[in-house]
Structure 1
């Protein structure tokens, strides 16, 4: 079947390929703000990688992206959502957000997240119903409530 999207629970051995995907996806935004560091972009992800919280997005049986969703006391925290640049434009991010929203509705939890200032992801999250709550030095923060 063409254009098949699958969400798959990650395993420990997926860490390095996900770190590489993250580096490719974040490079343009981090370069825009003068913060791209070839090693740090990978190590920062790998230091906190928890396979049980991480889900691969496959498109036609190829790794196209991933997200990390963490259960907090009173909300779900979307810690990462990246689509490999070569797969962007296939509505994979929207598919992933809709899957995450289903989990949040089942748990009766809001979703919170942070997005790098000057990143195109800010428009993406707002277009999917996330409301801006506050900022810090580098990020905008959002919440989605069902």
Structure 2
């Protein structure tokens, strides 16, 4: 069963499906569009490199495509099992120490409507239930940092380009909405990677 395609009953206007190799160019193009303003501000935008880095790191087994109304492509998100060395290497298994959230991009056409918050909350509901921390990084000055801070992420370290953040289970406003989709996302990811699936109880 393609459980990524199950629409959350608490948010009927969006769903997740497993990414496929055929999605790579659409996601690479979206990454270039979304990241361009921040990278230009930092003097680091390169039209080829911003797309190629996505192609080089694309992991369909850990990635979901965000679908908007009528199943239209609206974005993507990757949630990798994190190795015990603190690196989001996707090794998972018994040595996994949490999850690494990356490549969370939404089309400009759907930004500012609460979709990013809904998707993030559903993912964090699953990782909270598993008792696992989540890590990520954002570029300096990115507006996305405020979204993550509202959901309990705090700064671990930073450099002139990137801010590395972590969220402990239950911190901030993560759980509470989008439970069905959270379960689908985390279970499908774990099934394909061998990691222990974060499990979220159903909401009456």
* TM norm structure 2: 0.68
Structure 1: runs of 5+ lacking an equivalent: none
1:39-85 per-position Cα deviation (integer Å, ceiling 9, x unaligned): 11100000011101111111112111111111012010002211111
1:17 correspondence with 2:26: yes
* Dislocated runs of 4+, deviation >4 Å: none
- In structure 1, how many angstroms separate the alpha carbons of the residues matched to 2:45 and 2:12? 32
* TM norm structure 1: 0.93
1:142 correspondence with 2:176: no
The alpha-carbon deviation at position 3 of structure 1 amounts to 6.7
Q: Equivalent of 1:80, from 103, 112, 123? A: 103
Query: Which residue of structure 2 aligns with residue 53 of structure 1?
Result: 62
1:84-119 per-position Cα deviation (integer Å, ceiling 9, x unaligned): 112101111111111211221233211001000011
SS of equivalent to 1:98: helix
1:110 correspondence with 2:120: no
SS of equivalent to 1:39: helix
Query: Which residue of structure 1 aligns with residue 17 of structure 2?
Result: 8
Query: Which residue of structure 1 aligns with residue 152 of structure 2?
Result: 129
The alpha-carbon deviation at position 136 of structure 1 amounts to 2.1
Give the number of the structure whose residues are more often strand, by fraction.
1
Q: How big is the alpha-carbon RMSD for the aligned residues of Structure 1 and Structure 2?
A: 1.5
Map 1:24-39; keep pairs closer than 5 Å. 24-39=33-48
Further displaced range: 96-105 or 115-124: 96-105
Tell me if the contact between 1:132 and 1:140 (Cα under 8 Å) persists in the aligned partners.
yes
The alpha-carbon deviation at position 36 of structure 1 amounts to 1.0
The alpha-carbon deviation at position 144 of structure 1 amounts to 1.1
- In structure 2, how many angstroms separate the alpha carbons of the residues matched to 1:103 and 1:46? 27
Work out the number of aligned pairs and report it: 145
SS of equivalent to 2:47: coil
Further displaced range: 136-145 or 16-25: 136-145
Query: Which residue of structure 2 aligns with residue 100 of structure 1?
Result: 123
